[in-house]
Structure 1
């Protein structure tokens, strides 16, 4: 029974979890038994973290989260705690297991509007959970703000009420939880922002649903951890000769704007590419030579010189865009590189804002393009997706990857990595101070290094994003992009 180890990184959407609950019930498991297990897990968390609470206040909605909270109230009362129960809405609206919980637990409930938050309360939030689809407003929003203003600890069941489990967005208002207890698997809202910061410490509790049922409903959506790309890392040999560790090419623009490309090239070398060459106009060569030693330099001024360069099949991957400028030149270079592994970043993305389809059409067939947009750059290639407020960040990245036939790194503090065939990873290891000038240039170079070493595009992108986040932690708060370069560490090797 229970959750297998590999399921720990899985993420289920709220609709997937509803299907899991349904199939668990039809398989013969007692749905009320699962509710009791959930409620007792919440009570155990409450007692473990707040043994000195003056009062536990259980706020119950009319759905299953309300039933979970009522069972938690029963367990807390049985432990000797002082407990108060408040119900949102008419008791006649209770149905199924939630109605059974209220019918069998001998505790009186009061209307939610009667609750006056007080110092010493620990609030157990069983109002909405992950399935909220409408904005929180009015008296409930006022209550949430009162609880927040008093800094009362909140233990959320599944997700803090007000957070959309699908997107992580706040619908109107929400609780700020100190602890969140969810069951069997995390939801996107636990990892996407701002939901991640509103959950507090997250506990994932196994309440006894068989792994086979969870597996039958899981989407190809996971947290980005080393387990996702460990097999690709095994294929890398850090002790190999430099020519066997790949040759990365990074394109630079004019001398005055070459700093971003230098960051990418240096990151590529630090991330394990055996050789890195910077390609730039002849006029930029003196500036580059003054700043770089281990990176090789190659002047390219004309299309013929570019053609001569890329005839060399020993060049394994390319990075184009950081500090490049020259949109028309970008488009010519991309056309020449369309059958090679390419990381397109920054100016490389913006160059196609007038005709994104030209870029997408050039990279049909086997996936070999990695796009690394932040939200603004994303809107230049995918304005319709960026403007659709009904789409989550996962939706936008997934649809964009399919449209472009590229691995898409939609950057941010909750970066999402998606590939055209539906695999998606949410990255959660990046510190907030990683948002600094030059950080994206470093990421592009790491992705390029992984591609040059032979990693498949999705694994190259996901491992680079994780490695970038780990370097941010290593560099520490207040870091610069130069600090980030020095903090790049080897990828973890699977045993």
Structure 2
């Protein structure tokens, strides 16, 4: 699979910085003209000519809309522009508004309701206030498909959250690089199909911006490989603390770890009865009832997974600290996170945390409107990479680097998929991947495996599809 040529995600502030840096080598009017042409081209490719209304704000977003209106009119489309307010005199948007000689329409609910296509060029991703009043009323009156410029008006490009009202777009056209809000929910849904257009802004500006957020994909990491000298210990030995009650969770994690390439997987059972069950169902795994202390005496057991199927009790809390204080790499999931509810200090020194939203809130407090920032704060607080699960999974490193995973289909919303993910990540960690890359790769592999399966997915189906998903990352 070829690497993504544009993996960087720019916040609205960083995008404004990119525009400012580019202004020294390329005219901002030229960039606006290119943006408007990209919008018009997208409209012509996606929609048939029809009564088109461009809702134009007073800023650069509106300027893009004036350009798109002019180009569509030249192509024979019936177009009118409805300004929310006139552009600031002397601005680029004012220059583009002066080049528009077609009809102007009232910025009204009635005009919006009778259009066959609405181009939403009211506000862009950098909006800092709520969309309400007249703007919200007119946008909500649209009955036709909406083509949004940059983002649907009212969508925060940094967080994907709505600020007051934001309409549902059929198509969103943005420029140079995507923003986090294009991938985070609910923004990703509100954008509809998102098209990234090249408007000639030089990639050299990225060196000055030094973005710290990326969209996930194989170009950001490389899966461990094998050579002629590889053997089971070079591929890593993963130890999973297995519970006595919910035994399926640890078995799913172990199965995923095997398929993700771990050389050895040990299930540490809490008692003889549980050990007997694990021995009859996991022929590829080692099963032991040995104490955690004795297992930690083996330095080859460098990677551990604690959580799937475990109770959030004192035994789990003790095990967490034993493994962390022994200097082992630890993936903490499920019961381990429950054991640290209101006690995040128990996780200090862990390697990777994999909470869903509820677990995160119990350990660190409410996520709030900015999911990436919440994950970054938790990572800095514990020193661990935090993988905050969801359809818009966020992976954050303690140093602030952030990856947003967006390939997870809704079919993953079924029991056991989190156990598979934890086992996959732990296996990659055992094989020598860095924590940040192992978490990102595990999330992407799970999404790709689910995509290959389609509807009717069970957690155990993911395990058999992991090798094919991994192979896809090696194809160029």
TM-score if structure 2 supplies the norm length? 0.94
What is the aligned partner in structure 2 of residue 287 from structure 1?
A: 277
Correspondence for 2:203 among 196, 203, 211 = 211
Offset of residue 463 of structure 1: 0.5
What is the aligned partner in structure 2 of residue 33 from structure 1?
A: 30
Offset of residue 93 of structure 1: 4.7
Query: 1:210–1:159: structure 2 CA closer, same or farther, 3 Å change rule?
Result: same
Offset of residue 227 of structure 1: 0.3
User: Which ranges of 4 or more aligned residues in structure 1 deviate by more than 6 Å?
Assistant: none
What is the aligned partner in structure 2 of residue 468 from structure 1?
A: 446
Contact 2:35 2:64 in 1 (8 A): yes
Contact 1:316 1:451 in 2 (8 A): no
Counterpart secondary structure, 1:155:
strand
Query: 1:349–1:238: structure 2 CA closer, same or farther, 3 Å change rule?
Result: farther
User: Deviation string for 1:407-439 (max 9, x for gaps)?
Assistant: 110000000111111211100111011011111
Give runs of aligned pairs for residues 339-378 of structure 1, distance below 5 A. Answer: 339-360=327-348, 363=349, 369-378=351-360
Distance in structure 2 (CA, Å) of the matches to 1:336 and 1:388: 32
Matched, 1:262 2:251: yes
Query: 1:173–1:239: structure 2 CA closer, same or farther, 3 Å change rule?
Result: farther
Correspondence for 2:455 among 468, 471, 477 = 477
What is the aligned partner in structure 2 of residue 309 from structure 1?
A: 295
Distance in structure 2 (CA, Å) of the matches to 1:204 and 1:352: 41
Distance in structure 1 (CA, Å) of the matches to 2:166 and 2:298: 57
TM-score if structure 1 supplies the norm length? 0.90
What is the aligned partner in structure 2 of residue 323 from structure 1?
A: 309
Contact 1:59 1:123 in 2 (8 A): yes
What is the aligned partner in structure 2 of residue 449 from structure 1?
A: 427
Offset of residue 234 of structure 1: 5.2
Contact 1:242 1:274 in 2 (8 A): yes
Counterpart secondary structure, 1:116:
helix
Distance in structure 2 (CA, Å) of the matches to 1:278 and 1:238: 28
What is the aligned partner in structure 1 of residue 46 from structure 2?
A: 49
Structure 2 residues not aligned, in runs of 5+: none
Give runs of aligned pairs for residues 140-219 of structure 1, distance below 5 A. Answer: 140-147=135-142, 150=143, 152-219=144-211
Contact 1:237 1:245 in 2 (8 A): no
Correspondence for 2:83 among 87, 90, 114 = 87
What is the aligned partner in structure 2 of residue 58 from structure 1?
A: 54
User: Deviation string for 1:202-253 (max 9, x for gaps)?
Assistant: 22112112111133114211111000002xx255559932232111111112
Distance in structure 1 (CA, Å) of the matches to 2:80 and 2:227: 61
Counterpart secondary structure, 2:310:
coil
Contact 2:224 2:431 in 1 (8 A): no
Structure 1 range deviating more: 237-246 or 334-343? 237-246
Query: 1:336–1:438: structure 2 CA closer, same or farther, 3 Å change rule?
Result: same
Query: 1:358–1:286: structure 2 CA closer, same or farther, 3 Å change rule?
Result: closer
Matched, 1:74 2:64: no
RMSD: 2.0
Query: 1:93–1:326: structure 2 CA closer, same or farther, 3 Å change rule?
Result: closer
Structure 1 residues not aligned, in runs of 5+: none
Contact 1:278 1:295 in 2 (8 A): yes
Matched, 1:242 2:232: yes
Distance in structure 2 (CA, Å) of the matches to 1:342 and 1:494: 31
